[in-house]
Structure 1
Amino acid sequence: MVRFGVVGTNWITESFIRGASHHQDFQLVAVYSRTEERAAKFAGKYDVDNIFTDLEEMAKSDAIDAVYLASPNSLHASQAITFMKNGKHVLSEKAIASNSQELGDMIRTAKDNRVVLMEALKSTLMPNFKAVQENLDKIGTVRRYFASYCQYSSRYDKYKEGTLMNAFNPEFSAGSLMDIGIYCIYPLVVLFGEPKTIQANGYVLESGVDGEGSLILKYDEMDAVIMFSKITDSTLPSEIHGENGNIRIDKISTPEKVEIIYRDGRSEDLSRKQLADNMFYEAEEFITLIQQGKMESENNSLENSRITMKILDEARLQMGVKFPSDK
């Protein structure tokens, strides 16, 4: 068994627990929250006895082997480093850090302490994304990657009413790019590596974070076009265009239907069965790495997280989005 603690008591933590609970070697043993009342209430849902309001105390506890971080982006680096220095493996929600400097510190700490550090980007570990990887050669030379993830945030209504929610607060290294744009960028990096150039545009809210934006990324033989937003909706699928056909992905953040449309009009359904509790796949990958003594994932590797963070940094620089965490 791998004994997990969780940091954060929000809906994403509950989604992770539901998914991870499908794994026979997952055991939830500890909960952290800033208040004892909230920690106890959340822990009670899962019959967990160990509750913490002191992060250092939790990191030093012999009760846990690993931790899932679902805290705001701005806290990921400091929290992860605290746990890793105490020999705990860390699965951190995306974005794994605020910027490249923080991520560099996290990676060094992971290597120094021989623990697993992985970014919890679920989509690149799901069966339907692996179907894309395994069938990419069928569409010939790839010329364009197009990804769109635009989802109107219910928190935006509160923002317009004058309430600054975490999702639109630069103090928490938030915004559309960091929250959902990354779902478009990370698969691109896994499939095609680091781009040669980056062009970014976006609409920056008065709070200082981006509400929406777009990227054009150049590779030697192809380009990538990415659109993301938390202030508008879109139902566009994502596509990878090859000279022999294109792969259509219904939802880049949670691929459920994947198909090839060939130039001659034929289609091929690549879709695979997946658990509805799809955060299972990141938990499965993370637990396997720990049990096999491996230091990092193949798809969600530290190098892929480093390249993704480099793109996020440059995009924010061009859009004019700065976080207090930036130095």
Structure 2
Amino acid sequence: MIRFGIIGTNWITESFLQAAREVDGFALTAVYSRTEERAREFADKHGAAHAYTDVEEMASGGRIDAVYIASPNSFHAAHALACMKHGVHVLCEKPIASNAAELRRMIEAARERGVVLMEAMKSTLLPNFGAVRDHLPELGKVRRYVAGYCQYSSRYDAYKQGTVLNAFNPIFSNGALMDLGVYCIYPLVVLFGKPERIRANAILLDSGVDGEGSLLLGYPDMDAVIHYSKIADSSLPSEIQGERGTMTIAKISQMESVRIRYRDGSVADLTREQAANTMVYEINEFIRLIRRGDAESSVNSHAHSLWTMEVADEARRQIGLVYPADAAQS
């Protein structure tokens, strides 16, 4: 069994633990929260023996082998570094860091300590992403990648009424790009590598974060168009357009279905069966890496996470989105 600690006691952690119950080898033994009352309450609810309000204490106590980090984005690097220092493997929610500089420090620490560091980007570990990758050659020469994730946030209603919650607060390295846009960038770099050219546009809110935006990314013989939003919805699928056909992907974050429409009008449904809670795949991958002694995932690799963060950094530079975490790296 891999003994896990949890950092963060929010809805995403609840979903993670629900998925973990379906994974062989997962054992929750410790919970961290900022308050003792919340840590103890969450630990008791999920059967964890230990509750902490100090990450260093949890990581150094010899009671956990690995940690799942679901704290606000701006804390990811500090929490990961504190755990890896004590030989604890790290599965960190997306985005894995506030910026590329933080991530480079995290990667260096993982290599020095010989621990697994993996971004919990679930979409690229799903069976339907495997279908995308396996059937990509059938499209012929790929000319365009179009991906979108636009989902109106319930927290935006509170924002419009004058309450700035974490989702729209730059202190926590948040906003539409980091919350939703990365879901579109990550599969792109896994499939096609890091883009050579980046053009970004966005609408910045008064709080200082982006409410929505778009990216035009250039490759030698194709381009990529990405649109994301927390202040409007979209029901459009994502596409990969090739000279022989076009692949459509429903809901890029979940990869709900995959189809190819060929130029002759025929359609192939490539959709594969997936677990109801799609977080099971990232947990399985992470535990497999630990058991095998692998340094990193071949899919959610250090390079793919770094390329995604470098794209986000350049996009933020162009739109003028600065986080307090950026100043700490200068």
Indicate the TM-score class for this superposition, using the shorter chain for normalisation.
over 0.9
Aligned to 2:165: 165
RMSD of aligned alpha carbons? 0.6
> 1:76 aligns to what SS in structure 2?
helix
Distance (whole Å) between structure 1 residues aligned to residue 207 and residue 92 of structure 2: 25
Measured after TM superposition, the shift of residue 174 of structure 1 is 0.3
**1:99-118 map, 5 Å:** 99-118=99-118
Measured after TM superposition, the shift of residue 21 of structure 1 is 1.6
Aligned to 1:234: 234
Distance (whole Å) between structure 2 residues aligned to residue 21 and residue 134 of structure 1: 29
Distance (whole Å) between structure 1 residues aligned to residue 20 and residue 269 of structure 2: 28
Superposed CA deviations along residues 30-55 of structure 1, whole A, max 9, x for unmatched, are 11101111111111221211110111
1:11 aligns with 2:11: yes
Distance (whole Å) between structure 2 residues aligned to residue 41 and residue 156 of structure 1: 29
Measured after TM superposition, the shift of residue 140 of structure 1 is 0.4
> 1:325 aligns to what SS in structure 2?
helix
Aligned to 2:220: 220
Q: What stretches of structure 2 of length at least 5 have no aligned partner? A: none
Distance (whole Å) between structure 1 residues aligned to residue 136 and residue 21 of structure 2: 32
Aligned to 1:176: 176
Aligned to 2:97: 97
**1:22-101 map, 5 Å:** 22-101=22-101
Distance (whole Å) between structure 1 residues aligned to residue 27 and residue 149 of structure 2: 33
**1:293-308 map, 5 Å:** 293-308=293-308
Superposed CA deviations along residues 203-259 of structure 1, whole A, max 9, x for unmatched, are 000111000000000001100000000000000000000000011000100011111
The number of residue pairs the alignment matches comes to: 327
Distance (whole Å) between structure 1 residues aligned to residue 80 and residue 128 of structure 2: 29
Q: Aligned partner of 2:40: which letter?
A: A
Aligned to 2:291: 291
Identity %: 60
Distance (whole Å) between structure 2 residues aligned to residue 180 and residue 61 of structure 1: 35
Distance (whole Å) between structure 1 residues aligned to residue 81 and residue 46 of structure 2: 27
Superposed CA deviations along residues 62-115 of structure 1, whole A, max 9, x for unmatched, are 110000000011000011000000000000001000011101110100000000
**1:198-277 map, 5 Å:** 198-277=198-277
Q: Aligned partner of 1:44: which letter?
A: D
Measured after TM superposition, the shift of residue 312 of structure 1 is 0.3
Q: Aligned partner of 1:277: which letter?
A: N
Measured after TM superposition, the shift of residue 155 of structure 1 is 0.5
Distance (whole Å) between structure 1 residues aligned to residue 53 and residue 156 of structure 2: 30
TM-score (norm 2): 0.98
Distance (whole Å) between structure 2 residues aligned to residue 46 and residue 307 of structure 1: 36
Superposed CA deviations along residues 158-198 of structure 1, whole A, max 9, x for unmatched, are 11111110000010000000000000000000000010100
Q: Aligned partner of 2:90: which letter?
A: V
